[in-house]
Chain A
Amino acid sequence: MKKERMRRILAQAVAAAFLCLAASGAPAAHKEEGTPGAKKGAAEPHTPHGPQFAVPKPPFTPGIFPCSDCHKEMKPNPTRRTLTEEHTNIVLNHAQGQRWCLDCHDIANRDKLRLASGERINHEESYRLCGQCHGDKYRDWKSGVHGKRTGMWNGEKQYLLCVHCHNPHDPGFKPLQPMPTPVRPESIK
């Protein structure tokens, strides 16, 4: 009787040890299975201090930033409307009709952008704003696949912001003039 009890306890102990091992092993295995992008995503907490990707300065129109230079004297008008006095050169060709200026630009602090969550971010971090809708592109961008990279393939890389290639108000990539055609073989002397 005593022997049987001992055996039962031993079996339970072995089972418990096995479970413990399995539980500690499982997350490790899961971690290894993650895609590089997912891993990079996890290692990329949005710091309040600024962007964690090396990006050049946002391509502002000369003289337009900081926006508060003009806006701090004005009373904010939250009514959706078409601007007729200022910023008339900005024609929204980016889900127009569904949004307007203050969906992305913060109403209280014009030098900041505004996420859907209400968080205010700097223009240097604008990729987070774009990433709210374009999640797949954002994921590819973070892993270095969407967009241009320069620098070292095995070292420091330079990223570009979304807005360096895509005008945020009209984001389609603009056509380019091609470089000269190659010389035809019959013309090579």
Chain B
Amino acid sequence: MPKSESRESHAFRMSRRKMMKGVAAVMGALALPEKDASAVVWESFFQKHFRELKPEEMQKVLARLEKEYSGQFRKAVKVRATPPREGVLYGYGLDLSRCIGCRRCVYACVGENNQSRNPQIHYIRVLQLEKERGVDLEEAEHYYNPKTVPEKGHFYMPVQCHQCESPPCTKVCPVQATWKERDGIVVVDYNWCIGCRYCMAACPYGARHFNWKKPGLPEGEMNPETHYLGNRPRPIGVVEKCTYCIQRVRNTPGRYTACVEICPVGARKFGNLLDPESEIRYVIENKRVFILKEDLNTRPKFYYFYAT
């Protein structure tokens, strides 16, 4: 080591690098939530990744969120983090020969899952297609509005999250804020999402939606039965998606999803793909089934079928 760079010689020297470090530290400190730096804000700021939370930490997080939401919506809000059930892989069937395009499912989903009313976020988009052309997505119409449906010569194809077995959306997330659970549901941790929207670009089904503004969710319409990875109220700047009503289906026994329950023609079927007695297995084994954009090898667990 040359003598000129001994310990004493640069003890008080202000190098360019040191100065930049100092500036960065000050800027960082300024960016921290200073004005409303209550304990809650600090806790959420330093919260661990959902999958690294220990049980007692999880309880703390859920209690914190329940308190926050209960105050915000002025009612007792329950936030659960029910884990996946063993031996269950959820699958969904949609009967294209029955769907009449009435959009009841779209609004039942919004009511159940606490989506923003204004600006509007819908998990389900119903496409109107021409029978003569078949599934031709380029000619699909979202905004059909006749007096009554179905319209002559048309069929209807609702599209929502397909809960892929190899989901392209989770692969592109730079912070692992979205992943596939063991029961096959692809979920988002709204506390971890940085809002880069890479997942929205990666999803070939248009199933992910971004909160460009603070979600407009009226107190009266808020569903207080929530799940951490599902329908709990979302902050601004995060991505959200269909979770097969995770707050319902993971219970014992689990209720059908809101869209299955509302469908007036019974076109929607839901069940456990690993149970040979389930409705969805009957559909796959006995009906003509196809999956959307099969060529992309996303392996959806959402099966369109023709019962007749």
Question: Which residues of A are interface residues toward B (Cβ below 8 A)?
Answer: 35-37, 39-40, 140, 143-156, 160, 165, 173, 175-184, 188-189
Given contacts A140-B307, A154-B252, A160-B266, 16 further A-B contacts (CB under 8 A): A37-B282, A144-B282, A145-B93, A149-B279, A152-B253, A152-B254, A153-B278, A154-B272, A173-B265, A177-B148, A178-B148, A179-B106, A181-B142, A182-B122, A188-B212, A189-B119
| Complex: A37 Cα to B143 Cα, angstroms | 38
Do the beta carbons of B266 and A149 come within 8 Å of each other?
A: yes
Report if B276 contacts A (CB, 8 A): yes
List chain A residues, Cβ under 8 A from B252.
154
The answer to whether A151 and B256 touch (CB under 8 A), given A176-B148, A181-B145, A184-B143, is: yes
Give A148 to B255 CA distance when docked, in angstroms: 14
CA A155 to CA B253, docked complex, whole Å: 6
* Main SS class of interface, A: loop
Inter-chain contact B147/A177, CB cutoff 8 Å: yes
Minimum CB distance partner of B141 in chain A = A181
CB-defined contacts of B249 to chain A, threshold 8 Å: 153
Q: Measured between alpha carbons, how far is A148 from B268 in the docked complex, in Å?
A: 8
- Tally B residues with Cβ within 8 Å of A: 51
Measured in the bound complex, the distance between the Cα atoms of B299 and A67 in whole Å is: 55
22 interchain pairs, CB-CB under 8 A: A36-B285, A144-B279, A144-B282, A145-B279, A145-B286, A146-B307, A151-B256, A154-B275, A175-B150, A177-B148, A178-B101, A178-B144, A178-B146, A179-B103, A179-B106, A179-B107, A180-B103, A181-B144, A182-B106, A182-B122, A183-B120, A189-B119
Tell me whether A179 and B102 are in contact in the complex, defined as CB-CB below 8 angstroms, given that A145-B307, A150-B256 are known contacts. yes
Is there contact, CB below 8 Å, between B265 and A154? no
Q: Give the A-binding residues of B (Cβ under 8 A).
A: 93, 95, 100-104, 106-107, 119-120, 122, 125, 142-150, 212, 249, 252-256, 260-261, 263-266, 269-272, 275-279, 281-283, 285-287, 307
Cα-based distance from A72 to B266 in the complex (angstroms): 39
Known: A152-B254, A176-B102, A188-B120. A147 touches B266 (CB 8 A): yes
**CB-contact partner of B281 in A36, A40, A140, A152, under 8 A:** A36
B272 with A146: CB separation less than 8 A: no
List, in ascending order, chain B residues with CB within 8 A of A153's CB. 249, 253-256, 270-272, 278
- B-side contacts of A183, CB under 8 Å: 119-120
Complex contacts, A140 vs chain B, CB 8 Å: 307
Cβ-defined contact, B256 with A152, below 8 A = yes
Asked whether, in the complex, the Cβ of B149 is within 8 Å of the Cβ of A175, the reply is yes
CB distance from B283 to the nearest CB of A (A): 6
Distance in Å: Cβ of A133 to nearest Cβ of chain B: 15
Q: Please measure, in the bound complex, the distance between the C-alpha atom of A117 and the C-alpha atom of B147, giving whole angstroms.
A: 44
In the assembled complex, the Cα of A146 lies from the Cα of B266 at a distance in Å of 7
Which of the residues A35, A150, A154, A188 comes within 8 Å of B285, measured between beta carbons? A35
A183 to B145, CA, bound (A): 12
Instruction: Give me the 6 closest cross-chain CB pairs, A-B, nearest first.
Output: A155-B253, A148-B266, A175-B148, A179-B103, A152-B253, A144-B279
A152 engages B255 (CB within 8 Å): yes
Asked if residues A35 and B282 are in contact (CB atoms below 8 Å), the reply is: yes
Contact check, A155 vs B254: say whether CB atoms are below 8 A apart: yes
Q: Give the distance to chain A from B278, nearest Cβ to Cβ, in Å.
A: 8
Minimum CB–CB distance from A177 to chain B (whole Å) comes to 6
